[in-house]
């Protein structure tokens, strides 16, 4: 909805009176502000209503010298200040005063209008039992008041019965009308409260969805960072350690090893730039395709240059190609498994990687004959990041209903076996 302030901001050169509908907008805006203020300051409003009723309905009796009427009127209007905060107590006070009037044969006063106000307030704010009881007591009081004060002494006998009935009908009708209006206002108030609660719950749910999406994205970024950085650093560390010892006997080895380190670092830097460019939503970020199954041989060759003898075998033919995301998952599983071989298998270790197409899908097996990750200190609980790669594998495969099993082999070494099924359309 466009407000008056929005219209004036968009059209500052126009006059409010010359714009069709501006006066209506101003009236609606003022109405909404007034309604909001009345809702937020109901205590002040009730106190003002009680004060006004005292001034107009009770105070004049002071100037008329009618002390009893002044006391009765004051007792009837003062409870109006608590008609919303303590509805049942305020209505009980008004009812007690009205019953007292009947007992002492005190005629009704204009402040008796507070009875109708209290009937309305009970219907809006009080529990249902108090609302029903209030309308019953008020109706009975109206009937008793008409019977006691409605007709003068000359209107008696059977001829006055129709007139009594008419008075009683109108008195009870007014009570029921006030109660009906109050019940409608009650339903509206409860509906507004339900809508506000629903809007609040929806806002909470949206915030929770945003938090879950952010947590999932952080987990995805953490996996990508771990796969890229851990693998590249492991290769570079292995190459640097090998070059340090081999350069003493053959300086040419150091040259080729440094070239491998530089190539690995550049590749890792490209991956990092691509990932960070996606996070920044940078239009100039590299759009090179993500690694796939066709990149696995290059990955294995990188590990070979790091000093690990790795054999790669392919078995079977695919029944149907895997989605691009599933191929990236397979690549990351092989990458993480070979990275663990570099870090934990020890010197002079060899490994084998097998990609087998079966009726279920693609089975990936990577094993080595080294000392195994279980014997490494980083897997004994002393390293807080221990097992992060295995958890990352499981999380990636779970997205495609895949499974992974990793652990030491019986004859020594370590094995990782993963299955990623065909994704049926």
Query: pLDDT digits over 239-259, tens only?
Result: 676 666 666 666 666 667 777
* Residue 264 included in any domain: no
Distance of CA 51 to the CA centre of its chain: 45
- Comparing CA positions, the residue from 336, 269, 322, 252 lying closest to residue 292 is 322
DSSP state of 405: E
Q: Is 196 found in the same domain as 67?
A: yes
Per-residue DSSP letters for 180-216?
HHHHHHHHHHHHHHHHHHHHHHHHHHHHHHHHHHHHH
Q: Is 192 found in the same domain as 45?
A: yes
pLDDT reported for residue 217: 66
Report the 10 Å Cβ neighbour count for 19: 14
Domain of residue 56, residue span = 4-204
> Which CATH number covers residue 375?
3.30.565.10
Q: Count of domains in the chain?
A: 2
Q: Is 14 found in the same domain as 144?
A: yes
Q: Is 299 found in the same domain as 155?
A: no
Domain boundary among the residues 146, 174, 204 is at 204
Average pLDDT over residues 225-243: 68
pLDDT in tens, 374-393: 544 444 333 444 466 777 78
Lowest mean pLDDT among 82-86, 261-265, 376-380: 376-380
Domain boundary among the residues 177, 204, 231 is at 204
pLDDT in tens, 334-381: 988 888 888 877 777 889 999 999 888 999 999 988 765 554 444 433
* Residue 12 included in any domain: yes
For the chain, helix, strand, coil in percent to 5 are 70, 10, 25
* Residue 196 included in any domain: yes
* Residue 111 included in any domain: yes
* Helix boundaries (H) for 226-323: 231-246, 251-280, 296-305
DSSP state of 156: -
What contacts 334, CB < 8 A, 6 or more positions away?
296, 299, 300, 353, 364, 366
* Residue 247 included in any domain: no
Q: Is 199 found in the same domain as 303?
A: no
Domain boundary among the residues 204, 237, 256 is at 204
Q: Is 297 found in the same domain as 197?
A: no
* Residue 392 included in any domain: yes
Q: Is 300 found in the same domain as 200?
A: no
* Residue 272 included in any domain: no
Give me the helix-helix angle, 113-125 and 161-225, nearest 10°. 30
Provide the token pair at 344.
Answer: 């934990």
- What is the pTM assigned to this prediction? 0.49
pLDDT reported for residue 74: 92
Please give the helix or strand (H or E) that residue 90 lies within, else none: helix 87-103
CA distance 389 to 29: 60
CA distance 421 to 202: 37
pLDDT reported for residue 1: 47
Q: Is 421 found in the same domain as 314?
A: yes
Q: Is 166 found in the same domain as 313?
A: no
* Residue 287 included in any domain: no
């Amino acid at each position: 909805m466009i407000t008056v302030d929005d219209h004036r901001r968009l059209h500052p050169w126009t006059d409010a009176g010359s714009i069709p509908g501006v006066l209506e907008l101003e009236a609606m805006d003022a109405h909404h502000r007034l309604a909001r203020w009345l809702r937020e300051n109901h205590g002040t409003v009730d106190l003002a209503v009680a004060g006004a009723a005292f001034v107009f309905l009770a105070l004049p009796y002071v100037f008329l010298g009618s002390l009893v009427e002044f006391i009765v009127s004051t007792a009837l209007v003062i409870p109006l200040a608590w008609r919303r905060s303590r509805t049942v107590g305020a209505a009980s006070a008004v009812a007690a005063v009205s019953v007292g009037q009947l007992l002492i044969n005190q005629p009704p006063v204009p402040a008796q209008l507070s009875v109708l106000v209290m009937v309305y307030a009970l219907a809006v704010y009080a529990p249902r039992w108090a609302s029903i009881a209030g309308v019953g007591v008020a109706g009975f009081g109206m009937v008793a008041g008409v019977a006691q004060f409605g007709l003068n002494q000359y209107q008696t006998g059977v001829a006055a019965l129709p007139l009594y009935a008419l008075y009683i009908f109108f008195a009870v009708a007014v009570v029921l009308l006030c109660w009906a209006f109050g019940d409608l206002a009650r339903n509206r108030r409860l509906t507004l409260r339900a809508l506000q609660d629903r809007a609040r719950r929806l806002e909470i749910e949206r915030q929770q969805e945003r938090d879950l999406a952010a947590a999932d994205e952080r987990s995805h970024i953490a996996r990508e960072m771990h796969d890229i950085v851990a693998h590249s650093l492991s290769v570079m560390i292995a190459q640097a350690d090998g070059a340090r010892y081999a350069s003493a006997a053959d300086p040419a080895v150091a040259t080729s090893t440094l070239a491998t380190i530089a190539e690995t670092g550049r590749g890792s830097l490209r991956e990092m730039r691509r990932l960070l460019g996606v996070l920044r939503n940078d239009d100039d970020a590299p759009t090179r395709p993500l690694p796939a199954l066709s990149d696995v041989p290059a990955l294995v060759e990188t590990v070979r240059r790091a000093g690990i003898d790795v054999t790669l075998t392919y078995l079977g033919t695919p029944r149907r190609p895997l989605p691009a995301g599933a191929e990236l998952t397979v690549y990351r599983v092989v990458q993480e498994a070979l990275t663990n071989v570099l870090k934990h298998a020890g010197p002079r270790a060899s490994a084998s990687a097998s990609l087998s197409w079966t009726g279920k899908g693609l089975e990936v097996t990577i094993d080595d004959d080294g000392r195994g990750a279980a014997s490494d200190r980083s897997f004994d609980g002393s390293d807080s990041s221990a097992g992060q790669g295995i958890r990352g594998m499981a999380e990636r495969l779970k997205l495609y209903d895949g499974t992974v099993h990793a652990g030491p082999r019986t004859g020594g070494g370590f094995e990782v076996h993963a299955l990623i099924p065909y994704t049926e359309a």
